[in-house]
Structure 1
Amino acid sequence: MKQPPVTEDSVGILSIVMPAYNEAATIAEVVDAVLVRGEVGELVIVDDCSSDGTWDEIQRIANERERVRVFRHDVNQGKGAALRTGISHCTKPYVLIQDADMEYWPGDYAALVRPLLDNGADVVYGSRFLTGNAHCVLAFWHSMGNQFLTMMSNMFSNLHLTDMETCYKAFRREIIQSIDICENRFGFEPEITAKMAAMRAKIYEVGISYQGRSYEEGKKIGWRDGVRAIYCILKYNLWEHRPLSMPKPVVTAERPAVEVAAEGA
């Protein structure tokens, strides 16, 4: 696909957080697609104790490319835990989540940052279900599951999202770093949505492109994660719901562009 232009006000504003688990076959291609975007100020990759050579590939990338910082969990903990580690190390004004496969297209960064810059958004969700953007047709039950979880989340959070489960979420850094992320696996999505609602964050949605993988191609989320998502929707919107205060914007110093470290998190 043709790359959208990068506007002057968006150059280098994004910290991209990329959780990775057994993605040796795709991660180099994804990193190339991410770093070609001018909005990217740094790419923070967290390897969640992969067993397929992903860590070796990540270390090679970090040694060869600028703007890349990498961390590793000593034991496998899940996507939410990897995001918790990565988000804590971000330094740029805005944080965006990017999976380490090719389901989501970094060319959509241009659309995702506009509400942050132009409309004062606190968080922007990239929706696979808004019209006007190319996307691979989802399997029926996968689509129904996504829509059911989004509807249930909306009911309890009083939001009107079209895609709560999307990977693409872009945040003001001080907001996402102020939140205590508890979920270690895919429960991150309903948890963070509930906490954004409790904070009364200004939330926008934009349409994005999507090329979904099959389980044969490496998709990892399963029905147990769907059950956990239902539990998390109830837990963080009802049982553990509490108002959260909005942090004030902060300015921090830059960190080194390339860093290789092991994280036990």
Structure 2
Amino acid sequence: MDISVVIPLLNEQESLTELHNWIAKVMQSNSFSYEILFIDDGSTDGSWETIQQLSQEDEFVKGIRFLRNFGKSQALHAGFAAAKGTVVITMDADLQDNPEEIPELYQMIIAENYDLVSGWKKKRYDSVVAKNLPSKLFNAAARKTSGVKLNDFNCGLKAYKSQVIKNIDVHGEMHRYIPVLAKNAGYNKIGEKIVLHQARKYGTTKFGMNRFINGFLDLVTIWFMSRFGRRPMHFFGLIGTIVFFVGLCFSLYLGIDKLFIETEGRMIAQRPEFYIALTAMLLGTQFFLAGFLGEIILTSKRNKERYKIADQIKV
């Protein structure tokens, strides 16, 4: 199979039939063998019923429905696990991503041997204050922190080699950073393509300003995980050792000063250096233990389900 199109969605019933027809037209006109995977992330508006109807009319439509809303990352995880295509395309269900971009994205993966190609919505139809400006700040921070030189990390329209999505773990809210996850996994040929962005035709956006706050927090997490995720002791242990050593030096100074220099008869507990030494040694011990516990957790952790599937179609 040439292409798997993975579409996570939440309450997008109005756009699903039009999106399906558009994708099918593009696939058939380019003679692709394909599948369309709709991942219903707990919709309450009848989206699943529409997906069931589409699957009855089109043998290439498949669906997965979650018991409740688990988030876009979990939806992508489920879609990636079920995808069978040589190239996997992800796109949003709100008709803001243009299916006409799929053939060129496919060729960049197959002909130019990219591991991943990310869309760049250079010209956007979103609010400048609510989305454009925060998005630019977010993307700049992501480029600086991750080293992945993309202009639009948030674009839902992306293309992947099948082996890429089978070897990365998308969890939490890390869907924004799939290119970073791919790079950390060893897939370094990451490209970018300017894609058409269209104004939302139906409904309203499911994302508010809080997604940018969460995005920056996730960015810190993924930076830490990429550098110290496999060896937390290298981070916490180093800080703990340095802080503990500072406290130990203050303690030695107080001891030597009390025994050989101090003439005023003050108690050690009356001196500020005592509290600096005590705080530093306690903090150093806690940091060291945090690293040690992190190593134990990594050693003993097991894969756990992050979502519950209520129903599937042809998967």
Q: TM-score, normalised by structure 1?
A: 0.80
Structure with greater helix percent: 2
Corresponding residue number in structure 1 for 2:190: 203
Corresponding residue number in structure 2 for 1:139: 127
* 1:67-102 C-alpha deviation (Å, 9 max, x unpaired): 111111011111111111111000111111121111
Q: In structure 2, do the counterparts of structure 1 residues 19 and 225 end up closer, same or farther at CA, with 3 Å as the change threshold?
A: same
Higher relative contact order (CA 8 A, sep 6+): 1
* 1:114-156 C-alpha deviation (Å, 9 max, x unpaired): 2211211000011111xxxxx5533212111111111111101
1:87-102 equivalences in 2 (<5 Å) = 87-102=80-95
Residue 59 of structure 1 pairs with residue 45 of structure 2: no
- Residue 211 of structure 1, CA deviation: 0.9
Corresponding residue number in structure 1 for 2:223: 237
Note the aligned Cα RMSD (angstroms): 2.2
- Residue 163 of structure 1, CA deviation: 0.8
- Residue 65 of structure 1, CA deviation: 0.6
Q: In structure 2, do the counterparts of structure 1 residues 242 and 60 end up closer, same or farther at CA, with 3 Å as the change threshold?
A: farther
* Secondary structure of residue in 2 paired with 1:181: coil
- Does the CA-based 8 Å contact 2:143-2:149 persist in structure 1? yes
* Farther-moved stretch of structure 1 (36-45 vs 152-161): 36-45
Corresponding residue number in structure 2 for 1:225: 211
* 1:6-43 C-alpha deviation (Å, 9 max, x unpaired): xxxxxx51100011211111111111111112245111
Mapped to 2, the partners of 1:68 and 1:242 lie a distance apart of 41
Residue 48 of structure 1 pairs with residue 41 of structure 2: yes
Mapped to 1, the partners of 2:137 and 2:39 lie a distance apart of 30
Corresponding residue number in structure 2 for 1:156: 145
* 1:176-219 C-alpha deviation (Å, 9 max, x unpaired): 11111112x4x4112x13212212421011111011339x8321
Q: TM-score, normalised by structure 2?
A: 0.68
- Residue 243 of structure 1, CA deviation: 9.1
Corresponding residue number in structure 1 for 2:13: 24
* 1:215-239 C-alpha deviation (Å, 9 max, x unpaired): x832111111111110111111224
- Does the CA-based 8 Å contact 2:116-2:179 persist in structure 1? no
Mapped to 1, the partners of 2:33 and 2:153 lie a distance apart of 24
* Secondary structure of residue in 2 paired with 1:204: strand
- Residue 50 of structure 1, CA deviation: 0.9
> 2:74 is matched with which residue: 81, 86, 89?
81
Mapped to 2, the partners of 1:115 and 1:103 lie a distance apart of 21
Q: In structure 2, do the counterparts of structure 1 residues 78 and 40 end up closer, same or farther at CA, with 3 Å as the change threshold?
A: farther
Q: In structure 2, do the counterparts of structure 1 residues 149 and 58 end up closer, same or farther at CA, with 3 Å as the change threshold?
A: same
Q: In structure 2, do the counterparts of structure 1 residues 243 and 207 end up closer, same or farther at CA, with 3 Å as the change threshold?
A: farther
Query: 5+ residue gaps in structure 1?
Result: 1-11, 130-134, 245-259
Q: In structure 2, do the counterparts of structure 1 residues 189 and 76 end up closer, same or farther at CA, with 3 Å as the change threshold?
A: same
Which one has the largest radius of gyration? 2
Q: In structure 2, do the counterparts of structure 1 residues 261 and 43 end up closer, same or farther at CA, with 3 Å as the change threshold?
A: farther
- Does the CA-based 8 Å contact 2:164-2:187 persist in structure 1? no
> 1:175 is matched with which residue: 127, 143, 164?
164
* Secondary structure of residue in 2 paired with 1:99: coil
Moved beyond 6 Å, runs of 4+: none
Identity of aligned residues (%): 22
Q: In structure 2, do the counterparts of structure 1 residues 200 and 89 end up closer, same or farther at CA, with 3 Å as the change threshold?
A: closer
Letter in 1 for 2:193: V
Mapped to 1, the partners of 2:208 and 2:11 lie a distance apart of 16
Count of aligned pairs between the two proteins: 228
Q: In structure 2, do the counterparts of structure 1 residues 31 and 16 end up closer, same or farther at CA, with 3 Å as the change threshold?
A: same
